[in-house]
């Protein structure tokens, strides 16, 4: 019983990543008819839980939940829709071949290694918290426009200037001194203990394309702190059932508010009529009409493939084409027959966040080969063993190890076909050095290089943030001038994904800001 009338909605959202879902829920609650079109079999984008070996499940890209404001979780009633936490306040443990594991924030343990560090840590942490909160104000709002004449934009700029001023003269100067600096210099100035600096450095560069010595890495560090430390946010959390639970709850929240979600509905083109977005064409050939189209898909794909450059001006296309979006982060998934035993890691730490980044120099060294399209023998790792808190992910008594692998280039000399297996073995060997016996307990392994992430999640470059978070792709100019404030040069077309401010991470703010922007524009 096929109807002749094409499907339609007020708003189409292309992509059911967490940002698309937040956007859908927000708009649907405001009474708009919303249709989410997701290419994959399930919603969630880079925040899903899926099988990777017989009987084993894992959070396939994002594996820690630490960035979404609690207010958003509450507003959308996510707990009611199935979100529950297996563990919260996960500790971060620094691993090193040269030092015993260090729990971050453990001043007594630090004092043993360096009294100076133990003294310096708390004031440093407080200051970073303060700066983080200020940056949080940036995350929590739609960026103003440059060269603006609108009072709302001017007001936003003025508010930011005021917040900066309210830090006090000394602190303001300090922030302005460090904000353009590199993480390496800042942490070298502050501390002595290598593994402490290594872990701080890791937090400054994870998900990005930079070594700790690259300018702008203090900004990315503060950025991450901002999402974590703000009173509004939770710390590291592991949802029951993995990150997929978050996006499943978001989907239910959206549907409860009246949004419709269609999976396995890849969009081929954004349709344009009279220089206004008018709907989409699915790969299946089906046309769906709408007044507003919002893209959760990365900016490059949205403009260059889905919309098509013929609807855009050359200068804009040039900027989108230059939007740096090659990913540098891979994901390793191991199915383990037994619980791994990390040397020196206390049992109560094992369910935490284990960061293998022994020092800033090691980190920089891990970055170096990527410049020449190859990969270091000792990349930095962020390891979680979600089965410690959540037995639903593996057969009884067995475990899942999920690790972010930092500094794995998008393209490698010779192609990933020839390197993937070798790198997987190499990573297992590296882990085995810190958890003797792990190698022999590996039942199955999966390595997702940026190229694999690109394919599985349909994200250009497989980039964590859909595109580098760096000064020139940041805030008021993210993703590029002409596509800021979630709007695009084409009337009726908006962006709501990680390409837009404030970038990636399972935060939901791009989706929320975009929804508000759309509502403020529609009558």
Partner 1 sequence: MNTPLAPHYKKPLWETPFAERARALQQRDSYVPWAGYSTVDVFTTVEQEYFAIRNATTLFDLTPMVKYRIAGPDAERYVNRLVTRDIRKLKVGRVSYVVWCNDAGHLIDDGTVFRIAEHDFRICTAERQLDWFMDSAIGFKVEIEEVTSEIAALAVQGPTSCFVLKRLGLEGVEQLKPFEWRNLSAAGRPVMVSRTGFTGDLGYELWMRPEHALGLWDDLMDAGQSRGIRPIGSQALNMARIEAGFLMPNVDFISAEHTIRLNRDRSPLELGLEWLIDFDKPHFNGRRALLEENRVGPKRRLVGLDVAGNKPAHGALLYSDEAGLKEVGHVTSAMWSPTCKRNIALAMINTPHEGLGSTVWADVYLNRELMWERRMLRSQVVERPFFAPARRRATPPNDR
Ligand X SMILES: Cc1cc2nc3c(=O)[nH]c(=O)nc-3n(C[C@H](O)[C@H](O)[C@H](O)COP(=O)(O)OP(=O)(O)OC[C@H]3O[C@@H](n4cnc5c(N)ncnc54)[C@H](O)[C@@H]3O)c2cc1C
Answer for which of 189, 273, 321, 472 binds partner 1 (CB under 8 A) is: 321
CB of 474 to partner 1, least distance (A): 21
Region at 333 (left for phi over 0; alpha for psi -120 to 50; beta for the rest) = beta
CB 323 within 8 A of CB 300: yes
Answer for which of 313, 348, 440, 472 binds partner 1 (CB under 8 A) is: 313
Helices marked H in 144-216 — which ranges?
A: 151-166, 169-178, 183-190, 194-205
d(CA 153, CA 142): 9
Of the candidate spans 84-92, 471-479, 481-489, 499-507, the one that interacts with ligand X by CB under 6 A turns out to be: 499-507
321 binds, among ligand X, partner 1, none (CB under 5 to 8 A by kind): partner 1
Answer for which of 314, 347, 371, 396 binds partner 1 (CB under 8 A) is: 314
Q: Which is nearer to ligand X, 175 or 328 (CB)?
A: 328
Q: Decide if residue 64 touches ligand X (CB under 6 A).
A: yes
Tokens of 147: 């060269």
CB of 506 to ligand X, least distance (A): 4
Alpha carbon distances (Å) from 408 to 212, 305, 370: 15, 26, 7
Answer for which of 315, 397, 415, 436 binds partner 1 (CB under 8 A) is: 315
474 binds, among partner 1, ligand X, none (CB under 5 to 8 A by kind): none
501 binds, among ligand X, partner 1, none (CB under 5 to 8 A by kind): none
Convert 462-488 to b/e letters by CB count within 10 Å (16 or more is b).
Answer: bbbbbbbbbeebbbbbbbbebbbbbbb
Answer for which of 11, 12, 17, 233 binds ligand X (CB under 6 A) is: 17
Alpha carbon distances (Å) from 156 to 144, 148, 152, 438: 6, 11, 6, 52
Answer for which of 1, 54, 310, 371 binds partner 1 (CB under 8 A) is: 310
Interface positions, 235-294, toward partner 1 (CB under 8 A): 275
Q: Decide if residue 39 touches ligand X (CB under 6 A).
A: yes
From the number of C-beta atoms within 10 Å of its C-beta (0-12, 13-18, 19+), residue 76 rates as buried
From the number of C-beta atoms within 10 Å of its C-beta (0-12, 13-18, 19+), residue 361 rates as middle
Interface positions, 12-51, toward partner 1 (CB under 8 A): none
Q: Decide if residue 14 touches ligand X (CB under 6 A).
A: yes
Q: Which is nearer to partner 1, 275 or 440 (CB)?
A: 275
Q: Decide if residue 497 touches ligand X (CB under 6 A).
A: yes
CB 307 within 8 A of CB 451: no
Tell how strand 287-295 and strand 493-495 pair up. parallel
Q: Decide if residue 311 touches partner 1 (CB under 8 A).
A: yes
How many chain residues touch partner 1 (CB under 8 A)?
16
Tokens of 53: 């070996």
CB of 270 to partner 1, least distance (A): 13
316 binds, among ligand X, partner 1, none (CB under 5 to 8 A by kind): partner 1
Q: Decide if residue 248 touches ligand X (CB under 6 A).
A: no
Interface positions, 318-357, toward ligand X (CB under 6 A): 329, 331
Convert 137-153 to b/e letters by CB count within 10 Å (16 or more is b).
Answer: ebbbbbbbbeeeeeeeb
d(CA 237, CA 351): 11
Instruction: Enter the DSSP assignment of 164.
Output: H
Q: Decide if residue 379 touches ligand X (CB under 6 A).
A: no
Q: Decide if residue 37 touches ligand X (CB under 6 A).
A: yes
Q: Decide if residue 459 touches ligand X (CB under 6 A).
A: yes
CB of 158 to ligand X, least distance (A): 29
d(CA 12, CA 15): 9
> Residue 347 CB: number of other CB atoms within 10 A?
9
CB of 309 to partner 1, least distance (A): 3
CB of 495 to partner 1, least distance (A): 17
Closest Cα to residue 10, out of 515, 499, 484?
Answer: 515
CB of 101 to ligand X, least distance (A): 20
Which residues neighbour 174 within 8 Å (Cβ) at sequence distance 6 or greater? 127
Of the candidate spans 313-321, 326-334, 427-435, 467-475, the one that interacts with partner 1 by CB under 8 A turns out to be: 313-321
CB of 426 to ligand X, least distance (A): 18
Residues that bind partner 1 (CB under 8 A): 275, 304, 308-318, 321, 482, 489
Residues that bind ligand X (CB under 6 A): 14-20, 37-40, 45-47, 61-64, 67, 266-267, 296-297, 329, 331, 404, 453, 457-459, 464-465, 497-498, 504-506
């Amino acid at each position: 019983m096929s109807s002749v009338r094409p499907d339609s909605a007020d708003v189409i959202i292309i992509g059911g990543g967490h940002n698309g879902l937040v956007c859908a829920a927000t708009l649907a609650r405001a009474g708009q008819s919303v249709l989410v079109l997701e290419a994959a079999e399930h919603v969630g984008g880079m925040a899903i839980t899926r099988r990777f070996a017989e009987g084993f499940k894992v959070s396939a890209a994002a594996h820690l939940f630490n960035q979404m404001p609690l207010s958003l979780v509450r507003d959308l009633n996510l707990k009611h829709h199935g979100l529950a936490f297996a563990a919260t306040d996960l500790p971060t443990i620094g691993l090193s071949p040269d030092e015993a594991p260090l729990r971050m924030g453990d001043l007594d343990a630090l004092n043993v290694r360096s009294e100076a560090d133990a003294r310096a840590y708390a004031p440093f942490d407080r200051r970073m918290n303060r700066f983080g909160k200020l940056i949080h104000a940036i995350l929590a709002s739609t960026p103003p426009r440059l060269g603006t004449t609108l009072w709302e934009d001017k007001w936003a700029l003025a508010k930011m200037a005021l917040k900066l001023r309210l830090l006090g003269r000394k602190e303001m100067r300090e922030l302005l001194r460090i904000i353009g600096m590199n993480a390496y210099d800042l942490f070298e100035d502050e501390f002595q203990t290598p593994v402490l600096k290594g872990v701080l450095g890791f937090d400054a560069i994870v998900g990005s394309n930079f070594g700790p010595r690259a300018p702008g890495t203090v900004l990315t560090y503060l950025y991450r702190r901002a999402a974590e430390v703000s009173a509004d946010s939770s710390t590291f959390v592991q949802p029951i059932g993995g990150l997929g639970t978050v996006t499943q709850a978001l989907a239910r929240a959206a549907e409860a508010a009246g949004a419709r979600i269609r999976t396995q509905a890849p969009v081929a083109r954004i349709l344009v009529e009279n220089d206004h977005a008018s709907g989409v064409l699915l790969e299946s050939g089906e046309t769906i009409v709408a007044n507003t189209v919002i893209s959760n898909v990365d900016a490059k794909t949205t403009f260059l493939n889905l919309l098509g450059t013929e609807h855009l001006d050359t200068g804009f296309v040039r900027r989108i084409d230059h939007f740096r979006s090659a990913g540098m982060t891979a994901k390793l998934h191991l199915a383990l027959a037994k619980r791994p035993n990390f040397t020196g890691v206390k049992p109560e730490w094992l369910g935490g966040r284990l960061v293998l980044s022994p020092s800033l120099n090691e980190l920089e060294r891990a970055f170096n080969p990527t410049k020449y399209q190859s990969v270091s023998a000792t990349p930095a790792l962020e390891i979680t063993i979600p089965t410690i808190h959540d037995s639903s992910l593996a057969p009884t008594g067995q475990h899942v190890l999920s690790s972010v692998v930092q500094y794995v280039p998008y393209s490698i000399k010779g192609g990933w076909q020839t390197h993937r297996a070798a790198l997987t073995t190499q990573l297992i060997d590296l882990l085995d050095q810190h958890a003797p016996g792990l190698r022999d307990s590996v039942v199955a392994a999966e390595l997702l290089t940026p190229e694999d992430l690109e394919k599985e999640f349909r994200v250009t470059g497989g980039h964590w943030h859909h595109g580098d978070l760096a000064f020139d792709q940041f805030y008021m100019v993210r993703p590029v001038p002409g596509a800021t404030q979630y709007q695009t040069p084409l009337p009726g077309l908006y962006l709501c994904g990680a390409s837009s401010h404030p970038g990636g991470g399972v935060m939901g703010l791009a989706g929320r800001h975009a929804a508000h922007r759309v509502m403020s524009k529609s009558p």
